[in-house]
A and B are shown apart, each in its own frame.
Chain A
Amino acid sequence: MLRLEALAKSFGGFAVVKGCDLEVREGEIVGLIGPNGAGKTTVFNLITSALPLDAGRVWFDDRDITGFPTHRIAQAGLVRTFQVPRLFERLSVIENLMVAGPNQRGERFWSVWLRPGEIAREEKRNEEQAWETLRFLGMERVANDLAATLSGGQKKLLELGRALMARPRMLLLDEPVAGVAPRLIDEIADRIRVLRGRGLTFLVIEHKMDFIMALSDRLYVMADGRVLTEGRPEEVQADQRVLDAYLGVA
């Protein structure tokens, strides 16, 4: 479903990603791990055109989306979350979700003036969808709170929910459980499995090993800008090179 071919990126002569090849098949949960500075988040930024890439190609659904503008990639069904949640902090929780609804007529300038009835109906459906998502996340009680007032874990959950509201076919999650309370971690893992059951595909960056090992079908291990190895969790865990990479052995 997602295929990366030889992605490369350097910042002022310093190569951060040196040729990353990776493939995620439809319905898979794939982990992307590696020590700090391995280039994992940069890969996400390259996939979504948050950064321009130096070389390589990105295929989504057998379509070459290399260099597409960020919003077009999201519209194609590939949606990301951020390592540090980037919520709309001064919007309420439910508005954070509602704004993410895809392809809303009410977001077109002329429709606001010309088609008020249609927009009102669309908003009703959109709000219903948002409540559904809040229930899925167990956040109905904070619906009208400002996003800025949420705890770290709730922010992560809300960002996941917001990405879901965009009706993606595949999600790129950047450390979905970093800084999240243990009880919530199981919750998030559980939600991700439910979503996969509904047909979503995942590529997940995470440092929390027990979480990512239990969740992933397969894992890619990155170190120093390259894919070091790929395999099922037990294979990766047994790989001496992975241990070396984490321990800093050259």
Chain B
Amino acid sequence: MAPYLASLLLFGGIYAMLALGLNLQWGHTGLVNLGFVAFFALGAYSAALLTLNGVPLLVAAVIAVVIAGLVAYPLGRLTLRLQDDYLAIVTFGFAEVVRILLLNTRWVGGADGLTGIPQLFGPLAADVRPFIQLGAVLMVVALVLVLARRLTESPYGRVLRAIRDSAEAARSLGKETEGYKVVALVLGSALAGLAGAIYAHYIGYVSPDQFDPSLTFLIFTGIVIGGSSHWGAAVGTLVFIAAMEATRFLGDVGLPISQSDFAQLRLLVIGLLLIVLMQRKREGLWPYRHRERVRVTRDAAA
């Protein structure tokens, strides 16, 4: 039971990291990256290929993060000076290209993917390994959370949110909006790459069907539910994915409907819940909160 729980939590950590990355792009900067899953895949495949070819695991992970970030750069440069929709279209297309390339390229394993990827802390005994892995991953997630907060609570983060609300107004106040958008895109994608590297080195194999486009939309939905505070985005995504997984088993407990009916019913129910949530709490369950500012001056003392 305990290793199973540890594994669940570890996957939770990976999803949380994905949520933090997309939240930086979408929740804070307003960038609609519909190909987010591709950067997750790039991170996973890069780390897998590198370690399978003898590169040390840590070095491979760092390179995987850099690759995911670097690939985002030209996409951003090409599209971010255009209207917002172009980023959405281009990233969506990009993710499909990546998926189909992975599926059809022999040296990355094609549809079978890659197996035998070295485990995180592989040399450790199998009975303690899951817990050490979990501890390490949670520490990385905590570090990412702290760094993301530092960035978004700084004047830099304030510019990102200004751009999200009106890029034109931000430009008219002297902000070089394109540069900020590119940085947000690269950082968020690099985080997806990091999540991918951890994922590959945890489950030990990668294949194209693990990086289905629907994952991108799961995370978007998670952020909508949770709100654009870092906690909100992470927790919202975890709750949503957990709910999707949990309701999968409800079909087994003797409901008088077929498995496939149930799968569709589940989406219907989730859709309804989302509508209710959006009517009650449009900013999500844990929206981003601005620091209350109180004037501290002589007239306050008087």
Which A positions have Cβ atoms within 8 angstroms of B?
A: 48, 50, 69-72, 74-75, 79-80, 82, 86-92, 94-96, 98-100, 102-109, 112-113, 119, 122-123, 126-128, 131, 140, 143-144, 146, 162-163, 165-166
CB of B120 to closest CB in A, whole Å: 27
A-facing mask of B146-173, CB < 8 A → 1, else 0? Answer: 0000110011101101101110111111
Asked if residues A127 and B166 are in contact (CB atoms below 8 Å), the reply is: no
A131 touching B169 in the complex, CB below 8 Å, given contacts A71-B175, A88-B161, A95-B290: no
Task: Verify if B215 is at the interface (C-beta below 8 Å from A).
Answer: no
Distance in angstroms between the alpha carbons of A94 and B159 in the assembled complex:
13
Interface size on B, residues (CB 8 A): 29
Asked if residues A102 and B172 are in contact (CB atoms below 8 Å), the reply is: no
A74 touching B155 in the complex, CB below 8 Å, given contacts A87-B166, A90-B161, A99-B162: no
A50, closest chain B residue (CB) = B168
Task: Verify if B280 is at the interface (C-beta below 8 Å from A).
Answer: no
Among all A-B residue pairs, the 4 with the closest Cβ atoms? A106-B155, A74-B174, A86-B169, A88-B165
A162 touching B155 in the complex, CB below 8 Å, given contacts A140-B295, A144-B290: no
Which B positions have Cβ atoms within 8 angstroms of A?
A: 150-151, 154-156, 158-159, 161-162, 164-166, 168-177, 183, 288, 290, 292-293, 295, 297
A-B contact pairs, 17 of them (CB 8 A): A69-B176, A71-B172, A74-B171, A74-B173, A79-B173, A86-B169, A87-B169, A89-B165, A89-B166, A90-B165, A91-B290, A92-B290, A95-B290, A99-B158, A99-B170, A102-B174, A109-B156
Asked if residues B174 and A71 are in contact (CB atoms below 8 Å), the reply is: yes
Asked if residues A123 and B174 are in contact (CB atoms below 8 Å), the reply is: no
Identify whether the interface residues of B are mostly helix, strand, loop, or mixed: helix
Asked if residues B156 and A71 are in contact (CB atoms below 8 Å), the reply is: no
Most buried by A among B162, B169, B183: B169
In the complex, which residues of chain B have a beta carbon less than 8 angstroms from the beta carbon of A128? Answer: 297
In the complex, which residues of chain A have a beta carbon less than 8 angstroms from the beta carbon of B288? Answer: 90
Distance in angstroms between the alpha carbons of A220 and B166 in the assembled complex:
30
CB of A71 to closest CB in B, whole Å: 5
Distance in angstroms between the alpha carbons of A89 and B175 in the assembled complex:
17
Asked if residues A86 and B168 are in contact (CB atoms below 8 Å), the reply is: yes
Asked if residues B171 and A71 are in contact (CB atoms below 8 Å), the reply is: yes
In the complex, which residues of chain B have a beta carbon less than 8 angstroms from the beta carbon of A140? Answer: 295
CB of B166 to closest CB in A, whole Å: 4
In the complex, which residues of chain B have a beta carbon less than 8 angstroms from the beta carbon of A122? Answer: 155
A126, closest chain B residue (CB) = B155
Distance in angstroms between the alpha carbons of A102 and B164 in the assembled complex:
19
In the complex, which residues of chain A have a beta carbon less than 8 angstroms from the beta carbon of B290? Answer: 91-92, 95, 144, 146
Asked if residues B158 and A166 are in contact (CB atoms below 8 Å), the reply is: no
In the complex, which residues of chain B have a beta carbon less than 8 angstroms from the beta carbon of A90? Answer: 161, 164-165, 288
Distance in angstroms between the alpha carbons of A127 and B170 in the assembled complex:
18
Asked if residues B156 and A106 are in contact (CB atoms below 8 Å), the reply is: yes
Asked if residues B155 and A88 are in contact (CB atoms below 8 Å), the reply is: no
Distance in angstroms between the alpha carbons of A104 and B161 in the assembled complex:
16
Asked if residues A86 and B166 are in contact (CB atoms below 8 Å), the reply is: yes
Asked if residues A144 and B293 are in contact (CB atoms below 8 Å), the reply is: yes
A112 touching B166 in the complex, CB below 8 Å, given contacts A71-B171, A90-B161: no
CB of B169 to closest CB in A, whole Å: 4
A71 touching B177 in the complex, CB below 8 Å, given contacts A50-B168, A109-B183, A144-B290: yes
